[in-house]
Amino acid sequence: MKLKVCGLKYTDNIRQVAELNPDYMGFIFYEGSKRFVGEDFVMPVISENINKSGVFVNATEEYILGKIKKYRLNVVQLHGDESPEFCERLSKHASVIKAFGVDEHFNLEVLEPYSTHCSFFLFDNKAESFGGLAKPFNWEVLRKYNNSTPYFIAGGMDLERFRKVEALKLNVYGIDVNSRIEIKPGYKDIIKVIQIKNNIR
C-alpha cells in the first residue's frame, strides 16, 4: 500500500517528510485551504523517487499547467467539479488523481467516464465545502468497487484508521494522510508519519 502525505506547507517540514521517502507528497494550490502554499511558494529539492502532487479545486487548465511546469509536478489531484474531458487534457502533462466525496448514496457508476483519463481516484468523506471533513466515510461502500482504476482512501486518516482499513482487506492502492497527523495546519508530526510508514507493508 502506498503512502501519500498531503497538505505540506513549510519548507523545513517538507524536507523532514521527504527524508522519510513517502510515495507521494501533496501541495495544495487552493486559496480556500488553510494549507494553501501561497503563490510565492518555493519547492525544496525532493528526491525524484517521490511523486510530487499538486492539489487543485476548479482551477483553470492554464493555472494548473503553470504549476506543473514551475514545480515539476508529476501528479495533479483534482477536488472540484472537473469533467472527464478536463482530466483527459491534463493527463497529457501529468498523472491525474480525481477526488470524489463519498457518502451512503455514492453511485460508483459516476466513475466510469473518468476511468480512462485518470491514473487514480481518491475517495474522501463527502462535505458541503471543498477540503473534506477530516472524518472517515463508510469504507464498506468500496466493497462494490469494480473499476480497474487504483484508488486512495482519505478522510481523517491516521495510524488507527489505517489499521482498520487494512483489516477490511479492500483493494486499496494507497492512503492519503493530512490533518490527523499535524502539529498545526500544513505542518506534519514526523513521529506520526514514521509510525504510519512503519506499519505499511
pLDDT tens readout for residues 50-103: 999 999 999 999 999 999 999 999 999 999 999 999 999 999 999 999 999 998
For position 131, what pLDDT does the model report? 54
Between CA 134 and CA 154 the distance in angstroms is 8
Between CA 169 and CA 150 the distance in angstroms is 14
Domain ranges of the chain: 2-199
Between CA 134 and CA 157 the distance in angstroms is 7
* Residues 95-146 pLDDT 10s: 999 999 998 889 999 999 999 999 999 999 886 555 555 678 889 999 999 9
Fold type of domain 2-199:
TIM Barrel (3.20.20)
| Predicted TM-score of the model (pTM) | 0.94
